[in-house]
Structure 1
């Protein structure tokens, strides 16, 4: 009988196994890219790096202050017949909660929801464009129409669209920038040296168009940026990313604003997509389709690209077009009940669905680049939840691990961060964080 794996967080579910497997897949795929580019470099991971990176926002410090990831209206609220989980971190989602429930603050929210059934709260909030989920146990979720419709979907499904061409061998001296243009590196004096750890960076010359936000997609693209890719993240000017969220997932990423309500912006995005090696989307299914930039459009614009499509609930079934977050998927699928007590539901110790899915997506991207294939990968947080719930019950003692912290520069001040969970040539991969939306929407390389 195999010995129990080390536990870092504890809890009723084996989130450690989910995290370990996803990051090891990234490590193996990164090794394949190194081999394809004739780079002789050691690529590793460690339990300390994995554990800390999955709790990156908890460890983040901005000029000494901790991050503030949760809005005042987010969290579990007791309904008349159970519990509901709300997500109001973003201003537009908080505004929906206030309008639908006719409340101004948390106390009013709790009084209002106590008069409703949880399913009614879920239905009314979602119909108005907000984010909510009734807390269900596993049996209730398995009986749900969306659970039945998606039961056979893999965590990440891949369609091979043909050959895209192999990456050229890495050119000595062609390492990507270690810092954001115009900013100096902080912390380790060698962190800004492009030659440190090898003659060239793993993904030098690879262009990644990042149409994601929150945690899962940016976890993927931050890792690709820290491996040397040019990552250009585009966001809507009228709905900016939360500052602390951006600082937690923006290392090495160039960020620009593009208003897709304007035709000239849509035309620019089409040009950028046509020139990208990798395109990643993470908005609610259908959100980009109305601009002519859905997955099928992007496949046509960039037939040579590796396309990653990320969603909360998958793209089929009655909830296939619904927005969602890690905490909301936990609540709906039974994870919150498994992590809670008789008195109230609970949550995983980290947002493991987000981070694991982001790393799994990165693994598929790296594998496709290494093999020279144009693929479309569809991954969902629901698939991560289903995978986690199917794992055997965990065993073993919980042991605290050291937290590998680094200092980097940002427009918001000096950051204390956890680097991505890989080392290349024995070095961690931290980079500076540029200001959200400060770049121009164009390729540098």
Structure 2
């Protein structure tokens, strides 16, 4: 039993998350603190956030087993474990990173080719311009001026800021998983792991990319859902990125304005949205439009900056930089740093998967749909409000061998991190865009 009136941060967060989705936890096993800290060394409580996020999925699914802290740490750093034919892919563009301006720092993101092109356009750099060219141009200009120019060219950059406690308190007062639907029933977790898998027979339409959404839908597939990832024909996904998070899903390419896509949507139980809300609205895929046409559909939304900023794109690294996390994690008090993993992305993915799973269990009794949403910025506010330490705790190098799995995919040997839910195993990722747009 948890006898303390002040549970550890991970347990307190887990209790609140499950309460938000209508599954109050009575079993202390499900809110226990880890036997040892999750080895994600940082000043902020990254390990506690990761433990609570993963444990939320396990608890919401009805399982009784506790996750392994080392496995969680490696799962959150999965891009550093991934190999393709024994080689680690280069996951960052040379134009993504921190850059010193005349009055501070900016953070850029250019991992997709169109982001690289827009970044160069915003800085008026030639097509072949590299890091040295960027460094020279950025160093001569103010941070706000640079970000404004890049943003007007639809590139991605933010001013590296300090934390804003007033904004964080406002965000912390809101649910971490914002559920819009019927009031919670008195539903309790199953006493043992469900058999068959808890999401068997559930159809999930996956309109996401870049870690948070794909981690969510990969987890739903692990729990038995039929997940079909849908991408637009004009925006190919980096192969490594899909292989890192594509386990157990099928993957297709289709225009969201087509009748074929509408047929998929008509038969879906869940749709997970990870694109900018404003872009989805222009396609007729806003949550409001979907709810009107499909009242029993469970609509899950992930965004970088929250519903207040529907037209603003972003990524974990940018949210860390603007929210103040980068300066808190500074190695020297002057140079921006980063969390030991893209923890906002991974936590958002696992937490949203937990919420979806819990709401699907409620839907059987309540016979209607929900809208559930969270954002990387809301996750950042939660992390910034958790206890922190002045110096990261030291950790030793982890042995990855017990925590990896290998697959044959399209003639390649892929090694990835194993699932964080004990007792379950991933199915192999399928090549991106290789499946027909059918259930």
TM range (shorter): 0.7 to 0.9
8 Å contact kept, 1:62–1:412: no
Partner residue, 1:378: 373
Partner residue, 2:143: 118
Query: Root-mean-square deviation (CA), in Å?
Result: 2.5
Which residue of 209, 223, 228 maps to 1:232? 228
1:196-245 C-alpha deviation (Å, 9 max, x unpaired):
x9963332211000000000000000011122211001001111111111
- CA separation of 1:10/1:148 partners in 2, compared to 1, >3 Å: closer, same or farther? closer
- CA separation of 1:249/1:123 partners in 2, compared to 1, >3 Å: closer, same or farther? same
Residue 399 (structure 2) pairs with residue 409 (structure 1): no
Q: Calculate the TM-score normalised by the size of structure 2.
A: 0.83
- CA separation of 1:57/1:432 partners in 2, compared to 1, >3 Å: closer, same or farther? same
Q: Alignment partner of 2:205: what SS? A: strand
8 Å contact kept, 1:336–1:346: yes
1:262-302 C-alpha deviation (Å, 9 max, x unpaired):
x4x2x322221121111100001211111111111111232
Partner residue, 1:243: 239
1:366-404 C-alpha deviation (Å, 9 max, x unpaired):
000111252111100001100111111147653554430
Deviates more, 1:229-238 or 1:367-376: 367-376
Residue 330 (structure 2) pairs with residue 331 (structure 1): no
Distance, in Å, in 1 between the alignment partners of 2:352 and 2:411 is: 29
Partner residue, 2:354: 363
8 Å contact kept, 1:20–1:50: yes
Q: State the 1:343 CA deviation.
A: 3.7
Runs of 4+ in 1 over 6 A off after TM superposition: 1-4, 146-149
Q: Alignment partner of 2:227: what SS? A: strand
Partner residue, 1:222: 218
Equivalent residue runs for 1:78-157 within 5 Å:
78-103=100-125, 104-138=129-163, 141-142=164-165, 150=171, 152-157=173-178
Equivalent residue runs for 1:30-109 within 5 Å:
30-31=61-62, 43-103=65-125, 104-109=129-134
Which residue of 409, 429, 432 maps to 1:433? 429
Q: Calculate the TM-score normalised by the size of structure 1.
A: 0.82
Equivalent residue runs for 1:5-24 within 5 Å:
6-24=37-55
Which residue of 290, 301, 309 maps to 1:298? 290
1:78-104 C-alpha deviation (Å, 9 max, x unpaired):
111000000000011000011111221
Distance, in Å, in 1 between the alignment partners of 2:168 and 2:307 is: 12
- In structure 1, the gaps of 5 or more residues are 35-41, 170-196
- CA separation of 1:111/1:412 partners in 2, compared to 1, >3 Å: closer, same or farther? farther
Distance, in Å, in 2 between the alignment partners of 1:353 and 1:405 is: 22
- CA separation of 1:137/1:228 partners in 2, compared to 1, >3 Å: closer, same or farther? same
Partner residue, 2:302: 310
Distance, in Å, in 1 between the alignment partners of 2:182 and 2:264 is: 20
Distance, in Å, in 2 between the alignment partners of 1:77 and 1:157 is: 35
8 Å contact kept, 1:100–1:125: yes
Q: Alignment partner of 1:234: what SS? A: strand
